[in-house]
Amino acid sequence: MKILVAVKRVIDYNVQIRVKEDGSGIVTDNVKMSTNPPDDNAIEEAVKIKEAGKATEVVAVSVGEEKAQETVRKALAVGADRGILVKVDGATEPLAVSKILQKIVEKEKPDLVFMGKQAIDDDCNQTGQMLAALLNWPQATFASKIEVKEKSLEVIREIDEGLETIEVNVPAIVTCDLRLNEPRYASLPNIMKAKKKPIEQINASDLGIDTKPRIDQIKVEEPPKRKAGIKVASVEELVQKLKNEAKVI
């Protein structure tokens, strides 16, 4: 069994996001970048399945600029066998990423494709579902537990009402939830070994994919700052303010 894992380079979740003065976007220069957190869960699960003897190869793929090679290297340090970087300049929307991944899947012929449930930069939560539609593969989204069977997967997924257990045939697309596992830290020896693992670089234009954005970003601005709260002396005063000032009751 071969598992393809898609990983994305995003601004680190600990970084305070700042908007550019002209409102054209967010500041990314000299900002710490890292792997999208749910993608860490995806690569961890793929490596665990391989360590359990149920997979023979784990391939990490990223779509982005040249610097996204760092994200692929991290996946290799955690346990992926080799990497693929599809180079694209600028931001890439989920549909374009899905079409690129479709081409990579057709080339690599994996049995499973893992990825995070969504990226923390755009929060789109679309790529996995779009890829499943393009490939006409079954999908298991928001996976919090995965059990590999002979020709299928049993997946417990997070839903609004609680948990849902489904079974999907292989090949399949799986998007991973943060509760799926605890991603390991890459040890220094493994980081050094990862530098020798191969990363194939492909230009998106060579795949015949149009990566031009379909959405025009007009302006980016910070949300309004929250006003300071106040203390009230009694329940009666609270009700009065909710009714007459906040007008919520």
Q: How far apart are the first and last CA of the chain?
A: 58
The answer on pLDDT for 102 being more than 90 is: yes
| Two structure tokens written together for 224 | 């309004």
pLDDT tens for residues 45-65?
Answer: 999 999 999 999 999 999 999
Map out the domains of the chain as residue ranges: 2-244
Pick the CATH number of 2-244 from 3.30.559.10, 3.40.640.10, 3.40.50.620, 1.10.490.10: 3.40.50.620
pLDDT tens for residues 141-175?
Answer: 999 999 999 889 999 999 988 999 999 999 999 99
Please state, in angstroms and as integers, the Cα–Cα distance from residue 249 to each residue in 220, 228, 232, 240, following that order. 33, 21, 17, 9
Whole-model pTM: value is 0.84
Q: What is the DSSP string of 139-169?
A: EEEEEEEEEE-SSEEEEEEEETTEEEEEEEE
pLDDT tens for residues 83-97?
Answer: 999 999 888 899 999
- Name the residue type at position 169: N
Q: What are phi and psi of 131, to 5 degrees?
A: -65, -40
Helix intervals (H) in 52-89: 69-78
- Name the residue type at position 142: F
